[in-house]
Amino acid sequence: MTVVAPPEEGYPPAAARPGGLVGALTSLDHKKIGLLTIGTALGLFFVFGALALLMRLQLAQPDQHVVTATTYDQLFTMHGSGMIYLVVTPIAIGYGVYLVPLQVGAPAIAAPRTTLFGFWLYAAGAAAMLLGFLTGGGAGTDGWYAYPPLSDATFTPGPGESLWVVGTFLAVLGMMLLGATVLWTALRLRAPGMTPLRMPLFTWSMVVTCLMTVSAFPALLGAMVLLGIGRNNPSIFSTGTWVVGYQNLFWFYGHPVVYVMFFPFVGAVGETLATFSGRPYAGYKPTVLSLLAFAALSMSVWGHHMFITGRVSNDYYSVTSITLAIPAGIEYFGFLTTILTGRIVYRTAMLFALAFIPQFLIGGLSGVMVGTPVLDYNFNGSYFIVAHFHYTLFAGSVFGLFAGLYLWWPKATGYLLDERLGKWHFWLMVIGTNVTFLPMFGLGLEGMPRRVSTYSTVSGFGTLSLISTCGAFVIALAMAVFVVNVVVSIKRRIPAGPDPWRGQTLEWVTASPPPRYNFSALPPIHSFTPLLDLHDAEPAGRTGPAETRDGQLAEGTR
Partner 1 sequence: MGGLNHRATYGAVWHVELPFAIVVFALIAGTLGVALVRSRLRRGRSPSHKASYPAAEILYVCVVAAAAFSLIGLSVTANASSDPKPAVRVHATAYQWCWRFDYLGTDVSVSGTCIGGDLPTLELPTGESIHVSLTSADVVHSMWVPYLRFKMQAIPHITNTFNLKLTSVGTFPARCAEFCGLYHYAMHFRVKAVPPAQFNSWLHAQERRP
Q: Which of residues 43-82 bind partner 1 (CB under 8 A)?
A: 69-70, 73
Rounded Cα distance between 300 and 322, Å, is: 11
Q: Which is nearer to partner 1, 325 or 534 (CB)?
A: 325
CB of 368 to partner 1, least distance (A): 6
Helix, strand or coil for residue 514? Answer: coil
Confirm if 249 and 222 have CB atoms less than 8 A apart: yes
- Contacts to partner 1 from residues 156-185, by CB under 8 A: 156
Q: Which is nearer to partner 1, 8 or 63 (CB)?
A: 63
Which x/- pattern, by CB under 8 A, does the window 94-123 give for partner 1?
------------------------------
Confirm if 40 and 126 have CB atoms less than 8 A apart: yes
Rounded Cα distance between 202 and 273, Å, is: 12
Rounded Cα distance between 309 and 459, Å, is: 26
Any contact of residue 375 with partner 1 (CB under 8 A)? yes
* Preceding omega of 149 cis (within 30 degrees of 0): yes
CB of 496 to partner 1, least distance (A): 23
The torsion angle over the Cα atoms of residues 190, 416, 403 and 348, rounded to 10 degrees, is 140
Q: Which is nearer to partner 1, 188 or 343 (CB)?
A: 343
How many residues of this chain bind partner 1 (CB under 8 A)?
81
Per the rule left: phi > 0, alpha: psi between -120 and 50, beta: everything else, 521 is: beta
Where does this chain touch partner 1 (CB under 8 A) — which range of 391-399, 445-453, 462-470, 501-509? 445-453
Confirm if 349 and 408 have CB atoms less than 8 A apart: no
Any contact of residue 9 with partner 1 (CB under 8 A)? no
CB of 79 to partner 1, least distance (A): 13
Which x/- pattern, by CB under 8 A, does the window 131-160 give for partner 1?
-----------xx---x-xx----xx----
Paired with 449 in beta bridges are 382
- What's the maximum distance between 2 C-alpha atoms anywhere in the chain? 75
Where does this chain touch partner 1 (CB under 8 A) — which range of 113-121, 130-138, 373-381, 491-499? 373-381
- Contacts to partner 1 from residues 340-369, by CB under 8 A: 340-344, 354, 357-358, 361-362, 365-366, 368-369
Per the rule left: phi > 0, alpha: psi between -120 and 50, beta: everything else, 72 is: alpha
Q: Which is nearer to partner 1, 115 or 141 (CB)?
A: 141
**Closest to 521 in 3D by CA, of 2, 24, 61, 6:** 6
CB of 305 to partner 1, least distance (A): 11
Which x/- pattern, by CB under 8 A, does the window 234-253 give for partner 1?
---xxxx--xx---------
Burial of 227 (0-12, 13-18, 19+ CB in 10 A): buried
Which x/- pattern, by CB under 8 A, does the window 302-341 give for partner 1?
------xxxx--xx--xx--xx-xx--xx-xx--xx-xxx
CB of 39 to partner 1, least distance (A): 32
CB of 518 to partner 1, least distance (A): 27
Q: Which is nearer to partner 1, 224 or 362 (CB)?
A: 362
CB of 265 to partner 1, least distance (A): 18
Confirm if 489 and 415 have CB atoms less than 8 A apart: yes
- Contacts to partner 1 from residues 206-235, by CB under 8 A: none
Confirm if 363 and 395 have CB atoms less than 8 A apart: yes
Could you tell me how many residues make up the chain? Answer: 558
Which x/- pattern, by CB under 8 A, does the window 185-204 give for partner 1?
--------------------
* Chosen residue from 16, 21, 374, 540 binding partner 1 by CB under 8 A: 374
What residues have CB less than 8 Å from 482, skipping those under 6 apart?
402, 425
CB of 72 to partner 1, least distance (A): 8
Rounded Cα distance between 336 and 477, Å, is: 31
Which x/- pattern, by CB under 8 A, does the window 450-469 give for partner 1?
xxxxxx---x----------
Where does this chain touch partner 1 (CB under 8 A) — which range of 170-178, 223-231, 370-378, 549-557? 370-378
In 10 A of CB 51, how many CB atoms?
20
Distances (CA, A) of 214 to 68, 152, 173, 188, 256: 39, 27, 10, 16, 10
Give first-to-last CA distance, the chain, whole Å: 10
Q: Which is nearer to partner 1, 325 or 477 (CB)?
A: 325
- Contacts to partner 1 from residues 379-418, by CB under 8 A: 380-382
Q: How far is CA 472 from the centre of its chain?
A: 20
